């Protein structure tokens, strides 16, 4: 499965509502955004919506000039209930500017994360990765500009996606690329120094959703005491608390890639489950690397509170 580059289309819809929507107060705008249907199955659109609502409330309070941003944040975290029904003429222009700044930050987020690569990857190391991730690809290629190391790529089962990743890594002379099947991960792990992967979503408790098969890799890394790094933007952070019983982990995908050698006629008679996602608990993660810095799993809850605000906001 390919973890796509950050899709900003949900954010564009929200920004369009700010620019062209029929609203007069911040309260009207918040209701307008909340009522917008979510057209995607992942958490990204809801996360964008939460971030924009937080920006609206902050800009509203700044316009009223009752207190500083720091005091506003403190008041929100302390449970203070603020009304957002006052009409402020300049609010629309300020929100357009603030949303553009937020969009620019997201567009540069992948570059910011990749620039941290040299802090975690040194010459002579062996880096294992799994999943066709644009963030991980750029992270490792950035490290290859100054370091020589080996990349162990765990096959995802999709020939086209695997070829894309391997081709990208092989294009750098400073990288030695080794491709292994998922079944060989435990045997290869003693030779690995660091694991670098991208999450599908990060939960407030420090656990994360990833492509199926990631949990086994994380367990092998823990067994051999290897560094497990998770690279991804803060837009993937959700205020939800993930568990393996979450409905999101009930999703399955066609088993064609998992059982490519079986005759198609026989495959239709077989009952094969090919799960889409895995849940990796926080105790298996060493560090999360985002555009705002790197932090341990226990810090995820604070990150969520900082970017989304109070329970009322999320």
Residues 140 and 240 in one domain: yes
What's the mean pLDDT when you consider all of the chain? 82
Strand partners, 210: 278
Residues 59 and 154 in one domain: no
Boundary (domain end) residue, out of 42, 72, 107:
107
Alpha-carbon distances, residue 61 vs 52, 54, 56, 88, 95 (angstroms): 14, 11, 9, 10, 12
* 113 within 8 A of 196, measured Cβ to Cβ: no
Residues 116 and 249 in one domain: yes
**pLDDT at residue 314 is higher than 60:** no
Structure pTM?
0.79
Look at residue 226 and tell me if it is in a domain.
Answer: yes
pLDDT digits (tens, 9 = 90+) for 9-64: 777 888 888 888 888 889 989 888 888 766 555 566 788 888 888 899 888 888 87
Confidence at residue 138, expressed as pLDDT on a 0 to 100 scale: 93
pLDDT digits (tens, 9 = 90+) for 164-217: 889 999 999 899 999 999 999 999 999 999 999 999 889 999 999 988 889 999
Question: What is the arithmetic mean of pLDDT over 248-265?
Answer: 61
Name the domain count of the chain.
2
Question: Dihedral through CA 5, CA 278, CA 228, CA 144, nearest 10?
Answer: -30
Question: What is the arithmetic mean of pLDDT over 144-153?
Answer: 95
Residues 99 and 146 in one domain: no
* 16 within 8 A of 96, measured Cβ to Cβ: no
d(CA 52, CA 55): 5
For residue 153, give the CATH number of its domain.
Answer: 3.40.50.10470
Look at residue 313 and tell me if it is in a domain.
Answer: no
**Least confident span in 158-162, 225-229, 302-306:** 158-162
Segment (H or E) for 196: strand 194-197
Confidence at residue 156, expressed as pLDDT on a 0 to 100 scale: 77
Look at residue 295 and tell me if it is in a domain.
Answer: yes
Confidence at residue 248, expressed as pLDDT on a 0 to 100 scale: 60
**pLDDT at residue 67 is higher than 50:** no
Residue range of the domain that includes 44: 6-107
Residues 93 and 161 in one domain: no
Boundary (domain end) residue, out of 72, 92, 107:
107
- Residue of higher predicted confidence among 98 and 268: 98
Boundary (domain end) residue, out of 78, 107, 136:
107
pLDDT digits (tens, 9 = 90+) for 96-146: 999 888 888 888 888 999 999 999 999 999 999 998 888 999 999 999 999
**pLDDT at residue 289 is higher than 90:** yes
Residues 100 and 148 in one domain: no
């Amino acid at each position: 499965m390919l973890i796509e580059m950050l899709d900003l289309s949900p954010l564009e819809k929200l920004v369009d509502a700010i620019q062209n929507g029929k609203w007069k107060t911040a309260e009207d705008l918040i209701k307008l955004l909340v009522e917008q249907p979510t057209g995607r199955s992942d958490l990204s659109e809801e996360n964008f919506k939460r971030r924009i609502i937080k920006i609206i409330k902050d800009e509203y309070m700044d316009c009223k000039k009752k207190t500083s941003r720091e005091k506003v944040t403190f008041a929100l975290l302390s449970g203070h209930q603020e009304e957002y029904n006052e009409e402020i003429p300049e609010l629309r222009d300020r929100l357009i500017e603030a949303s553009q700044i937020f969009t620019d930050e997201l567009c540069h987020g992948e570059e910011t994360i990749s620039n941290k690569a040299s802090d975690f990857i040194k010459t002579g190391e062996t880096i294992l990765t799994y999943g066709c991730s644009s963030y991980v690809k750029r992270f490792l290629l950035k490290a290859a500009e100054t370091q020589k190391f080996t990349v162990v790529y765990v096959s995802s089962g999709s020939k086209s996606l695997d070829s894309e990743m391997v081709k990208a890594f092989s294009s750098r002379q400073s990288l030695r690329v080794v491709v292994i099947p998922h079944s060989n991960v435990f045997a290869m792990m003693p030779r690995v120094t660091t694991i670098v992967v991208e999450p599908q979503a990060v939960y407030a408790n420090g656990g994360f959703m990833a492509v199926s098969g990631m949990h086994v890799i994380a367990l092998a890394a823990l067994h051999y005491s290897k560094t497990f790094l998770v690279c991804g933007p803060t837009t993937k952070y959700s205020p939800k608390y993930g568990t393996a019983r979450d409905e999101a982990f009930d999703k399955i995908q066609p088993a064609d890639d998992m059982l490519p050698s079986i005759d198609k006629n026989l495959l239709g008679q077989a009952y094969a489950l090919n799960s889409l996602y895995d849940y990796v608990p926080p105790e298996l993660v060493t560090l999360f690397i985002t555009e705002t810095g790197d932090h341990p799993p226990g810090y995820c809850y604070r990150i969520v509170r900082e970017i989304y605000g109070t329970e009322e906001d999320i």
